[in-house]
Amino acid sequence: MAKSEMPSIFTHHSHWFQSTMRWISPSAQILYTYDRVVHGFFTTLTVKKVQRLSNQSGILKISPDKKYQLFMTKSPQFLGLERIHATLPALSNKSIEDILVGVIETSIWPESKSFDDAG
């Protein structure tokens, strides 16, 4: 949102965002606000509500969230197993599908601050 277009009745851009969301839908909630490099918010809206929001003054851009899906069927290619299969003569008569690969990652510690949900 264009911070320069924030009405003077609001003391902080987050109040403006909340007011905008209540206008779009009383039940809509802001899940996260951005205030460092860009001024905006993250929310979940229907297509109809996004269209309504896009017509609102001060809206610079609406970016849909991208949904990524993991494909486990491509793991042999991702791990480069076809290269290993070609370089190990003992495996030349075996199928890649019959090989199990285990990866042990020892540098991840669940109690690390990186995994702290508090932020």
In tens, the pLDDT along 55-68 reads: 888 888 898 888 77
Residues 14 and 46 in one domain: yes
User: Is the residue at 42 inside a domain?
Assistant: yes
- Work out how many domains the chain is built from and give that number: 2
Q: Which pLDDT value is given to residue 53?
A: 87
Closest residue by Cα to residue 100 from 63, 68, 75: 75
Q: Which pLDDT value is given to residue 97?
A: 65
User: Is the residue at 81 inside a domain?
Assistant: yes
User: Is the residue at 59 inside a domain?
Assistant: no
The tokens describing 21, both together, are 């969301």
Q: Which pLDDT value is given to residue 84?
A: 64
Q: Say what the pTM is.
A: 0.48
Give the helix/strand (H/E) hosting 54: helix 47-54
Q: Which domain holds residue 29?
A: 3-54
Residue 84: count of CB within 10 angstroms of its CB: 14
Rounded to 10 deg, the angle between the 47-54 and 13-24 helix axes is 130
User: Is the residue at 61 inside a domain?
Assistant: no
User: Is the residue at 88 inside a domain?
Assistant: yes
| Eight-state DSSP code of residue 107 | S
User: Is the residue at 14 inside a domain?
Assistant: yes
State the amino acid at position 90 in one-letter form: A
Residues 9 and 48 in one domain: yes
pLDDT higher at 14 or 114: 14
User: Is the residue at 30 inside a domain?
Assistant: yes
Residue 50: count of CB within 10 angstroms of its CB: 13
The tokens describing 82, both together, are 């076809």
Residues 13 and 48 in one domain: yes
Give the contacts of 33 (CB within 8 A, at least 6 positions apart). Answer: 13, 14, 17, 40, 41, 42
User: Is the residue at 34 inside a domain?
Assistant: yes
Residues 79 and 44 in one domain: no
